[in-house]
Amino acid sequence: MSANALQRAVVARLVADPDVLAIIGAGRIFDRQITRAEPPYLVLGQATTSEFSTGDADGSEHRFEIEAWTKQNGRRQAVELADAVRAALHDADLTLVGAVLINLRHERTVSRRAPRTALHVARLRFRAVTEP
């Protein structure tokens, strides 16, 4: 399925990106919220896949979120991490196994302080189109 191939390629790009790693370090990208993990780290958030075929080609549209969680330096570090993620992924030419990435675009970033915690989170939303 192209959604899984896209996720693998996104994670591979992020773990290889020096700007992202400079902020979070190695082994700090999770596919779910880890309550015991010490920030900063990234969490793969909500993802949806929709039919996006044209008259002559099959396709899928993917919308997915990546959450940048930080504690030190508050919102500033969350935004710096989000900027590094956006730079690594926006218009990236990723290689997918079993599918072709047509485009990958950053749509928006929303940052906030997590209620009842000292944590800040910046939630990035991306849109990708793939073909088989």
Question: Tens digit of pLDDT for each residue in 109-121?
Answer: 999 998 888 899 9
The CA dihedral of 62, 10, 20, 29, to the nearest 10 degrees, is 90
Q: What is the overall mean pLDDT for the chain? A: 94
Cβ distance 125 to 107 under 8 Å? Answer: yes
Looking at residue 119, what is its pLDDT?
A: 92
The CA dihedral of 63, 80, 33, 36, to the nearest 10 degrees, is 170
Looking at residue 105, what is its pLDDT?
A: 98
The CA dihedral of 93, 98, 102, 104, to the nearest 10 degrees, is -60
Cβ distance 92 to 83 under 8 Å? Answer: no
Looking at residue 1, what is its pLDDT?
A: 66
pTM over 0.95: no
